[in-house]
Structure 1
Amino acid sequence: MNRPISRRDFFDGVATAAGVAALETFTDRPASAEPMGTAPRGGHPAALTGLRGDTPEDVGVPHALRDGRFWAHAGPAEPTGERYDLVVVGAGISGISAAHRWLEHDPDARILILDNHDDVGGHARRNEFHPTGRRGPLVGYGGSQAIEAPSAWTPEGRLLLDRLGVRPARLAAVPYPGLGTREGVFCDRESFGVDRLVPTGTDTRRWIAELPLAERARRDLLTLHLDPPDWLPGLTERAKHRFLASLTYSGFLGEVCGVHPDVLRFVRTMPSDEWGYGSDAFGAVDAWGCGYPGFQGLGLDRSKPSVYNSPSVIRQWEAPRKVLLFPEGNQALVRMMVGRMVPGFATSVDPEGVTTARFDYDRLDRPGNRVRVRLSSPVVSVANDGDPETATTATVGYFDGDRVRTVRAAGVIMACWNMMIPHLVTGLPPEQERALRAAVKVPMLYATVQLRDWRAWRAIGVGRVRFTGAYWSVAELAPRVAVGGYRPPEDPGEPVLAHLVRAPAVPGMSPADGSAAGRRELLGTPYSYLEFSIREQLVRLLGPGGFDPVRDIQAITVNRWGHGYAPEYATPWNLDFYPDGPFPAETARRRWGRIAIANSDSVPAAYADAAITAAYRAVLDLRT
Structure 2
Amino acid sequence: MDDAPLPPSPELSAEDRALGMDQKIDRRDFMNGLALTAAAVAVQSAMPWARAVQTPASAAYPPAAGGLSGQTDRANAVMHAVRDGTLKAMTGQSTGESFDLVVVGAGISGLAAAHEYRRLNPKARILLLDPLADVGGHAHRNEFQVGGKLLIGYGGSQSLQTPSYFSPAVNAMLHSVGIEAQKFEGYYDGAWYDKRGLGAGIYFPKEVYGHAATVREADKAADWVNQTPLNPQAKRDLIELTDAPRDYLKGLSAGQKRERLAKATYREFLLDIAKVDPQLVTYFQDSTREYYGGGIDVVSALDAWANGNPGFDGMHLGDAVDRVMSPSSRLLQTDPDDYIYHFPDGNASVARALVRNLIPQTMSGHTMESLVLGRLDYGQLDVKGHPVRIRLNSTAVHVRHLGDPHTASQVEVVYAGAGGMHSVVAGQVVLACWHRVIPYLTNELGAPQTAALRDQVKIPLVYTNVVLKNWAAFERLKLSAITSPGHFWLGADLDFPVSMGGYHFAQKTSDPVILHLRRIPVGRVGDSAREQFNTGRAELLGLSFADYERQARNLLGGALSGGGFDPVRDIAAITVNRWAHGYAYEYMRPGDTYWPGGPLPIQASRKGWGRIAIANSDAGAYAYAHSAIDQGVRAARELLKGSGPAISDFPGPPQNKLKFFGS
TM normalised by structure 2 equals 0.85
Partner of 2:121 in structure 1? 106
Instruction: Report the CA distance shift for 1:510/1:310 in structure 2 as closer, same or farther (over 3 A).
Output: farther
Structure 2 residues without counterparts, runs of 5 or longer: 1-32, 42-56, 642-663
1:123 aligns with 2:138: yes
Partner of 2:282 in structure 1? 265
Instruction: Report the CA distance shift for 1:180/1:147 in structure 2 as closer, same or farther (over 3 A).
Output: farther
Partner of 1:278 in structure 2? 295
Partner of 1:57 in structure 2? 74
Partner of 2:573 in structure 1? 555
- 8 Å Cα contact 1:176-1:490 kept in structure 2: no
Aligned counterparts of 1:218 and 1:93: Cα–Cα separation in 2:
45
Partner of 1:24 in structure 2? none
Aligned counterparts of 2:372 and 2:499: Cα–Cα separation in 1:
10
Q: What's the CA shift for 1:553?
A: 0.9
Aligned counterparts of 2:183 and 2:617: Cα–Cα separation in 1:
26
Match of 1:431 among 439, 448, 451: 448
Q: Which SS does the other structure have where 2:179 is aligned? A: coil
- 8 Å Cα contact 1:309-1:570 kept in structure 2: no
Aligned counterparts of 1:176 and 1:452: Cα–Cα separation in 2:
19
- 8 Å Cα contact 1:443-1:564 kept in structure 2: yes
Aligned counterparts of 1:228 and 1:203: Cα–Cα separation in 2:
13
- 8 Å Cα contact 1:156-1:609 kept in structure 2: no
- 8 Å Cα contact 1:224-1:293 kept in structure 2: yes
Instruction: Report the CA distance shift for 1:157/1:194 in structure 2 as closer, same or farther (over 3 A).
Output: farther
Partner of 1:536 in structure 2? 554
- 8 Å Cα contact 1:380-1:397 kept in structure 2: yes
- 8 Å Cα contact 2:101-2:430 kept in structure 1: yes
Q: What's the CA shift for 1:154?
A: 2.9
Q: Which SS does the other structure have where 2:137 is aligned? A: coil
Q: What's the CA shift for 1:241?
A: 1.5
Instruction: Report the CA distance shift for 1:595/1:588 in structure 2 as closer, same or farther (over 3 A).
Output: same
Aligned counterparts of 1:496 and 1:415: Cα–Cα separation in 2:
35
Q: What's the CA shift for 1:416?
A: 0.5
Partner of 1:84 in structure 2? 99
1:247 aligns with 2:261: no
Q: What's the CA shift for 1:222?
A: 1.6
Instruction: Report the CA distance shift for 1:448/1:316 in structure 2 as closer, same or farther (over 3 A).
Output: farther
Q: What's the CA shift for 1:272?
A: 2.2
Structure 1 residues without counterparts, runs of 5 or longer: 1-7, 17-39
Q: Which SS does the other structure have where 1:412 is aligned? A: strand
Partner of 2:385 in structure 1? 368
Query: Partner letter of residue 265 of structure 1?
Result: T
Query: Partner letter of residue 160 of structure 1?
Result: M
1:163 aligns with 2:181: no
Query: Partner letter of residue 125 of structure 1?
Result: H
- 8 Å Cα contact 1:123-1:564 kept in structure 2: yes
- Please, which moves more after superposition, 386-395 or 82-91? 386-395
> C-alpha offsets along residues 271-305 of structure 1, whole Å, 9 cap, x if unaligned?
22232232222221111223321112221111646
> C-alpha offsets along residues 159-182 of structure 1, whole Å, 9 cap, x if unaligned?
222222322233253225853551
Give RMSD over aligned pairs.
2.2
Query: Partner letter of residue 420 of structure 2?
Result: R
Q: Which SS does the other structure have where 2:596 is aligned? A: coil
Q: What's the CA shift for 1:306?
A: 9.0
Match of 2:541 among 523, 526, 529: 523
Instruction: Report the CA distance shift for 1:441/1:42 in structure 2 as closer, same or farther (over 3 A).
Output: closer
Aligned counterparts of 2:36 and 2:327: Cα–Cα separation in 1:
38
Partner of 2:529 in structure 1? 511
- 8 Å Cα contact 2:237-2:277 kept in structure 1: yes
Instruction: Report the CA distance shift for 1:88/1:181 in structure 2 as closer, same or farther (over 3 A).
Output: farther
Match of 1:221 among 234, 238, 242: 238
Partner of 1:324 in structure 2? 341
The 5 A counterparts of 1:281-430 are 281-302=298-319, 304=321, 317-430=334-447
Partner of 1:475 in structure 2? 492
1:256 aligns with 2:305: no
Instruction: Report the CA distance shift for 1:199/1:152 in structure 2 as closer, same or farther (over 3 A).
Output: same
1:145 aligns with 2:158: yes
Instruction: Report the CA distance shift for 1:13/1:449 in structure 2 as closer, same or farther (over 3 A).
Output: farther
Q: What's the CA shift for 1:540?
A: 0.7
Q: Which SS does the other structure have where 1:245 is aligned? A: helix
Q: What's the CA shift for 1:10?
A: 8.6
Instruction: Report the CA distance shift for 1:545/1:178 in structure 2 as closer, same or farther (over 3 A).
Output: farther
Partner of 1:565 in structure 2? 583
Aligned counterparts of 2:478 and 2:350: Cα–Cα separation in 1:
34
How many residue pairs align between the two structures?
587
> C-alpha offsets along residues 532-563 of structure 1, whole Å, 9 cap, x if unaligned?
11111111112221111121111110000001
Aligned counterparts of 1:309 and 1:48: Cα–Cα separation in 2:
44
Q: Which SS does the other structure have where 2:369 is aligned? A: coil
> C-alpha offsets along residues 65-124 of structure 1, whole Å, 9 cap, x if unaligned?
1111112xx484211111111000001010011111111111211000000001001000
- Please, which moves more after superposition, 44-53 or 538-547? 538-547
Instruction: Report the CA distance shift for 1:447/1:262 in structure 2 as closer, same or farther (over 3 A).
Output: same
- 8 Å Cα contact 1:13-1:57 kept in structure 2: no
Q: What's the CA shift for 1:310?
A: 10
- 8 Å Cα contact 1:269-1:467 kept in structure 2: no
1:497 aligns with 2:514: yes
Q: What's the CA shift for 1:152?
A: 1.5
Query: Partner letter of residue 471 of structure 2?
Result: W
Q: Which SS does the other structure have where 1:571 is aligned? A: coil
Instruction: Report the CA distance shift for 1:51/1:324 in structure 2 as closer, same or farther (over 3 A).
Output: same
1:486 aligns with 2:487: no
Aligned counterparts of 2:171 and 2:575: Cα–Cα separation in 1:
31
Instruction: Report the CA distance shift for 1:306/1:156 in structure 2 as closer, same or farther (over 3 A).
Output: closer
Query: Partner letter of residue 629 of structure 2?
Result: I
- 8 Å Cα contact 2:154-2:344 kept in structure 1: yes
1:441 aligns with 2:454: no
- 8 Å Cα contact 2:322-2:335 kept in structure 1: no
Q: What's the CA shift for 1:11?
A: 5.0
Instruction: Quote the sequence identity (%).
Output: 38
- 8 Å Cα contact 2:103-2:126 kept in structure 1: yes
Q: Which SS does the other structure have where 1:379 is aligned? A: strand
The 5 A counterparts of 1:162-241 are 162-172=175-185, 173-174=188-189, 175-176=192-193, 179-241=196-258
Match of 1:457 among 474, 480, 493: 474
Instruction: Report the CA distance shift for 1:343/1:162 in structure 2 as closer, same or farther (over 3 A).
Output: closer
- 8 Å Cα contact 1:185-1:197 kept in structure 2: yes
Aligned counterparts of 1:181 and 1:571: Cα–Cα separation in 2:
36
1:588 aligns with 2:601: no
Instruction: Report the CA distance shift for 1:480/1:321 in structure 2 as closer, same or farther (over 3 A).
Output: closer
Query: Partner letter of residue 164 of structure 2?
Result: S
- 8 Å Cα contact 1:146-1:324 kept in structure 2: yes
Aligned counterparts of 2:407 and 2:522: Cα–Cα separation in 1:
43
Q: What's the CA shift for 1:240?
A: 1.5
- Please, which moves more after superposition, 498-507 or 416-425? 498-507
- 8 Å Cα contact 1:453-1:492 kept in structure 2: yes
Instruction: Report the CA distance shift for 1:83/1:330 in structure 2 as closer, same or farther (over 3 A).
Output: same
Partner of 1:132 in structure 2? 147
Q: What's the CA shift for 1:520?
A: 0.4
